[in-house]
Structure 1
Amino acid sequence: MSKAYDRVRWDFLQAVLSKYGFPDNLIRLIMNCVTTVSYENKVRVLDGVKVSYSSWVKLFLLHARGYKVLHHIDGTPAQAKTDAKLDEWQEIDAHVLQWIYGTLSDDLLERVLEDASTAQAAWDRVKNIFTNNKGARAAALENEFSTLKLESMPSLEAYCQRHKVLATQLKDVDAAVTESRLVLELVHGVAQIL
């Protein structure tokens, strides 16, 4: 079944937006959104287990830079309330905020979602979840890293991947695992089965 949306000429849409006086950066953002695949398919859903915070940040920053909206989450001050471009800034900020919310697991979304938030404020709340309380988080991750058993995993590949994810998460809380220790943990787990 074909829909009218499937037959839109993107150059026509861009010309109409320009003709009606939409700002260039908003037109660019809209065109990026409608001419590319879903944003959520590019930045994986952050759950802290399958997708680590550091991986999510790297992907999110890459796409924010590509869409030229990095200034909404990098600490750049928001537009002044008296600025003529405030409405435009708020509209783009709402899109970035939707992207942040759309790439969080349900559990994280419940912890981060707030009324009348900016993208920067939501970005900071996500960051705080993963970077505050580093000592306790490092201890819990270290315990899982050290006690993970191959027989508790569905496959050897899953076992190795989980160790790698835990090593990345430990690095995020300033408790980096050396490569030699990672290899020793993996070998030790395999040796227990043999």
Structure 2
Amino acid sequence: MPPSSNRTTPKTTNLHPIYTVTNIQNKVRILDWTTVTYSSWVKLFKLHARGYKVLNHIDGTPPPNSADATYETWAEIDAIVLQWIYGTLSNDLLVRVLASDATTYDAWTKIHDIFLNNKGSRAAALEHEFTNLTLTACSSMDEYCQKIKGLAEQLTDVDNPVNEKRMVLQLVRSLPADFDMVASFINQSSPSWDMM
């Protein structure tokens, strides 16, 4: 018996990958000025934006014209990506970025400006903190190393990169006398930061 011509093939709709994300905070950590640096947050956010096919919402690609048939879908996706941004900001940053009728790109550039405006004074403050950081100011060696790495990343964000050798020297320079033998070994072997 031939197949019935009355049967219709169900329509398949292509669901945009963004609709599969249930909690962006499981993927991108909260940008809070200290624990998560701006550069780390940007790297994670861009990675997920690329993976979920929404990089065009943060890279300056112009939106479709409002008369375009794709505009409503674009606007809906943009609102979701904007929610991702708002959901990954600390409360004090959220207050500074939150705006009515903002697009994702508006929020993205505002965050960029918050972190990278006044580079000179920010770099000076970070440099002071970096050079004056000591192990005794931290609760553990692990915390000390994390703070050095975090400050180095923040300095890189403001166009004052800190190379690995300088990070190792900073670590060794402010170790207490109890660590003289270890410091001497580190100075002689010049290990990379990842070997520390």
TM-score normalised over the length of structure 2: 0.81
C-alpha distance after superposition, 1:93-123 (max 9, x if no partner)? 0000000000001111111110110000000
Taking structure 1 as reference, are residues 25 and 78 closer, same or farther at Cα in structure 2, changes over 3 Å only?
Answer: farther
Instruction: After TM superposition, give the deviation of residue 130 of structure 1 in Å.
Output: 1.0
Alignment partners' CA distance in 1, 2:148 and 2:134? 10
- Where do 1:10-159 residues align within 5 Å? 24-26=14-16, 28-30=17-19, 32-34=20-22, 38-159=23-144
Instruction: After TM superposition, give the deviation of residue 152 of structure 1 in Å.
Output: 1.4
Q: Which runs of 5+ in 2 are unaligned?
A: 1-9, 180-196
Instruction: After TM superposition, give the deviation of residue 178 of structure 1 in Å.
Output: 2.3
- DSSP-derived class of the 1:114 partner: coil
Alignment partners' CA distance in 2, 1:54 and 1:189? 26
Instruction: After TM superposition, give the deviation of residue 176 of structure 1 in Å.
Output: 1.0
For the Cα contact (< 8 Å) 1:150–1:193, is it kept in 2?
A: no
- DSSP-derived class of the 2:126 partner: helix
Greater mean deviation of Cα atoms: 39-48 or 91-100: 39-48
Dislocated runs of 4+, deviation >3 Å: 191-194
* Greater fraction helix: 1
| Higher Rg | 2
Greater mean deviation of Cα atoms: 98-107 or 177-186: 177-186
Computed over aligned residues only, the root mean square deviation of the Cα atoms, in angstroms, reads 1.7
Q: What is the match of residue 188 of structure 2?
A: none
- The residue identity in structure 1 corresponding to 2:65 is A
Instruction: After TM superposition, give the deviation of residue 188 of structure 1 in Å.
Output: 1.3
Alignment partners' CA distance in 2, 1:126 and 1:33? 22
Taking structure 1 as reference, are residues 140 and 192 closer, same or farther at Cα in structure 2, changes over 3 Å only?
Answer: farther
Greater mean deviation of Cα atoms: 118-127 or 77-86: 77-86
Instruction: After TM superposition, give the deviation of residue 184 of structure 1 in Å.
Output: 1.2
Q: How many residues align?
A: 170
Taking structure 1 as reference, are residues 103 and 192 closer, same or farther at Cα in structure 2, changes over 3 Å only?
Answer: farther
Q: Which runs of 5+ in 1 are unaligned?
A: 1-17
Instruction: After TM superposition, give the deviation of residue 192 of structure 1 in Å.
Output: 5.1
Instruction: After TM superposition, give the deviation of residue 83 of structure 1 in Å.
Output: 0.8
Alignment partners' CA distance in 2, 1:181 and 1:66? 34
C-alpha distance after superposition, 1:121-159 (max 9, x if no partner)? 000000111111110110010010011121111111101
TM-score normalised over the length of structure 1: 0.82
- DSSP-derived class of the 1:83 partner: coil
1:169 and 2:154 matched = yes
Instruction: After TM superposition, give the deviation of residue 169 of structure 1 in Å.
Output: 0.7
